[in-house]
C-alpha cells in the first residue's frame, strides 16, 4: 500500500507551475522575443535551490531539501565567483555543510526522541 500525504496536491501544483514557467521561457527564446541564455548560464543553480525548496513541504524530505538548497547556493556562489569561489577552491565548503547538517540532524533527532519519551511519561 502506498503512503500518500495530504501535501501531494501542492507538490503537483509546484511542478506544474515550474513546467509552465520553463516552457514559457523556452518558447519566448525560440520565438526570438527574449534571450534567456545569459540568465541561464549565470543562474542555473537556482533550479537546484527551487527543487530543494519544494522538498521542504514534506516532513520526511526536509533534510534532502536543505541539502539541495545548500548545494544549489554553493553552485550559485561558484558560478558567480562570489568571494572568488571556484569549484577547485571551494569544494571543502561542501564538506563543512555536510558535516554541519549531520550534526544538526543528529541533535534535532535526539531532541525529538527525548520530547516524545517525555510526552509518553506524562500520559
Confidence of residue 2 (pLDDT cuts 50, 70, 90): very low
What pLDDT is stored for residue 89 in this prediction? 92
- How far apart, in whole angstroms, are the C-alpha atoms of residue 10 and residue 114? 32
pLDDT for residue 45 is more than 90: yes
What pLDDT is stored for residue 60 in this prediction? 79
What pLDDT is stored for residue 12 in this prediction? 81
| DSSP H helices in the chain | 8-30, 37-43, 45-55, 62-79, 87-121
What pLDDT is stored for residue 118 in this prediction? 78
When pLDDT is averaged across residues 110-115 and rounded to a whole number, the result is: 83
Quote the pTM value.
Answer: 0.71
Amino acid at each position: 500500500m502506498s503512503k500518500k500525504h495530504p501535501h501531494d496536491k501542492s507538490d503537483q501544483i509546484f511542478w506544474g507551475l515550474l513546467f509552465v514557467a520553463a516552457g514559457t521561457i523556452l518558447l519566448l527564446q525560440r520565438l526570438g522575443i527574449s534571450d534567456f541564455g545569459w540568465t541561464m548560464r549565470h543562474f542555473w543553480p537556482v533550479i537546484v535551490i527551487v527543487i530543494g525548496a519544494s522538498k521542504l513541504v514534506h516532513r520526511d524530505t526536509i533534510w534532502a531539501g536543505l541539502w539541495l538548497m545548500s548545494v544549489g547556493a554553493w553552485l550559485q556562489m561558484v558560478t558567480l565567483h562570489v568571494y572568488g569561489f571556484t569549484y577547485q577552491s571551494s569544494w571543502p565548503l561542501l564538506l563543512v555543510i555536510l558535516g554541519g547538517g549531520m550534526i544538526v540532524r543528529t541533535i534535532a533527532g535526539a531532541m525529538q526522541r527525548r520530547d516524545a519519551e517525555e510526552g509518553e511519561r506524562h500520559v
